Every structure is written in C-alpha cells, then in structure tokens.
Chains A and B, each alone.
Chain A
Amino acid sequence: MPINNGEILRETTDAQGRTITLRVYYDSTLPYSPNQPLTNGPRGYCLDITNVSGRNCQITINGSTVNVGQGDPVTTGPANGRSRTAAQMAALGFTTRGSIDEITFG
C-alpha cells in the first residue's frame, strides 16, 4: 500500500554532511487518497523547510520553481521559498495531498 504517515519528505545531504529537508504535512487520519487535506505539522507549518546548509537551494512544485532561504525552519528569503502554513499553501493553490504532484528538489 502507499505510505500514509502524514508527511511528504525530501531530504538531501552533501559530501560535507550538510542537509536540506522539506516536509509537506497532510491529514493521515484519513485513508490514503489524493484528497487528503494538507495540514500544519508539529512546528506549525504545512510546508516546513530546513536549510542550514549555507548553500542556495531551489524547489520546484508542479512546475513552479522558487529559491529557498536559510534557517531551521526557513522563515526568511524569497516569499514562495519559505515555510508555509496550510492556509498560506491554500492561497497558493495547494489544498490536498494530490495537489503536491511533482516535486523537484535540489
């Protein structure tokens, strides 16, 4: 069965051990479905980004590429490259697990 643990995770670590982590939280109390609503995670964000690598990073979600800021969690930098609440994600058009279809992370 598909994983239904409440988070979409992307994490990479470079040769110096520096890690960049992106999580998108959804309601895992519901059965697996593209319609599972996005929710806020334990740190209050739905899109929760950690970038303490000291390097620039980009994410592309459903074809939209943005630069990611620095922090743990990332709360500064380009507007669309910061950690976001579920309400802010909804304003950007992301409301369900299925709406986060294609992620390119690097």
Chain B
Amino acid sequence: MVSSVVQSNGAHGTTNPRTIVLGSAPTVGNTLVAIMASDTTHTGVPTAGAGNSYTQRLAQVGGQGFYVWTRLVVGGESATTTFTPNGASPAALHVIEIQGTYDKVGAGTTNTGSAAASRTATGLSPTTTDNIVLAIAGLHAVQASAPSGGSADNSFTLTLATHSGGTGFNCGIITAHKATGAISATGTTTLSWTNNYNDRDGIQIAFTGITVIPPATGPMRTESGARIGLGGSLGWLKAG
C-alpha cells in the first residue's frame, strides 16, 4: 500500500514542555514524525504518551535547533506528542502521522545567518516504490517583517506551514510531501515562503509503504480434495 499522510498538526509557542495534539490516536503500524525548529536545543526526545519515546533521525544545530524524530506506532500511543525545548524559548513544532515506516533521511542542508525566503532540501533515492517523501524546512530568526505562507516545487504538495508570525526572533516549519512511485532520486525541492528567515535548514525523509495481507475469505480445497482454511493475516493453515 502506497504511503500517505494520515493527519498532521503544528503550532508554535514558548511554553515548556509543549504539546501537539493530533485529531485522533495514531494507528498501529503507522509512523509518527515530530519536527522542531527552535531558538534552542532540547532536553529530551519527544514522547507520544508516557514511555512512548521517539527516535532522533536528524539533528542540525547552528543558529537554531532543528530536529526530526520518528516513532513506529506499536499500540498505546497518545494523540498528544510532548516536546521539551531547552527552556521557555520560541519553537515551531509539527507532528505528522504517516501510513508507512521510516526508510531514510537525505543529506541535510543548512545556512546560518543569511536572510532569504527559501530553503532547498536535497533529494534522496527511496528504497521502495510505494514510498512517500517529506521535504521539510526548519526556520528561525526573522527580519523586520513577519514571514508567512509556504509552498514547494518539484511536484511536492504542502502538508503544513507554521510560523510564529511576529517580528524579532521567531521560528517556522514548512513541510511538503510527495508519493514518488519510484526508487530513483527525487531531486532537490525548494520550499518557499513570504519574508525572510536568517537560519534555514532543509531535509528530505522517505517512508516505505505497509504490506497488507488480506484476511481469509473462506475454505479452499487442495488438489487431493482436503479442505484448508486461511486463519487470518498470518496465513495460518489448517487441514479440514
């Protein structure tokens, strides 16, 4: 089954810890993606409920702290993901549920202290054709005019754009996605917005599809005439 975006949510703020709540609890077998772009680093990986820790896939710390974490949903995960930025500093946060499993991250790009209204995310080659690829820009430090909006090229569709919305030192995240249908290189994606950020990080991250085995539909007979039944998704066999 081709990977897809199931649900997403984002916010910004200065409270600590900080939470993002999805519309519903994530589905077993899917993957949660947590993203932070912040004035600061973090004091621990996010959790989707007590004990349900994410795994860090990317850390890029320069003028800002930009992180991507993933968690395979195994059951019992909360719809609420809790982040722990280091202190009460501005941070933009995204949580995205992907129908698929983590494959790989591409080459991270970064630029510190150079104001612009776009960021490139270097392409990667997904492992499977049933993939979905996220292109993410983590953004920090605004100029006199507050940034807004978000768009992506290379046939990526905007998933979510979050900006602090003020002037001074603030943060933003733009996430876009694309089901490429191929294992060839995705190519560079440029994420753009209105007005400048100084610190700009970019990354692509790929997910593979989930293999779904259909449930049993009824008894069958072997060539010798014996009946067998398919006992559910594990393909359990029983002589009849």
Chain A residues at the B interface, C-beta cutoff of 8 Å? 1-3, 5, 7-15, 17, 32, 34, 58, 60, 97-98, 100-106
Contacts and interface: CB of A to CB of B under 8 A. Distances in A.
Contacts of A13: 55-58, 105
B128 to A, nearest CB: 12
B61 interface: yes
Given A11-B58, A13-B56, A102-B110, A1 B39 contact: yes
22 contacts: A2-B112, A2-B140, A2-B169, A3-B64, A8-B61, A8-B112, A10-B60, A10-B110, A11-B58, A12-B57, A13-B56, A13-B57, A13-B105, A15-B102, A17-B55, A34-B113, A102-B109, A103-B108, A104-B110, A105-B108, A106-B105, A106-B107
Given A2-B140, A12-B108, A13-B56, A104 B41 contact: no
Given A3-B41, A3-B65, A10 B103 contact: no
Nearest to A65: B107
Contact of A104 (B59, B104, B109): B109
Interface in B46-63: 55-63
Interface of B: 39-41, 55-65, 102-114, 122, 124, 140-141, 169, 198-199
A84 B199 CA distance: 25
A15 B100 CA distance: 13
Given A12-B105, A101-B111, 6 more contacts: A2-B39, A10-B59, A101-B114, A103-B109, A104-B108, A104-B109
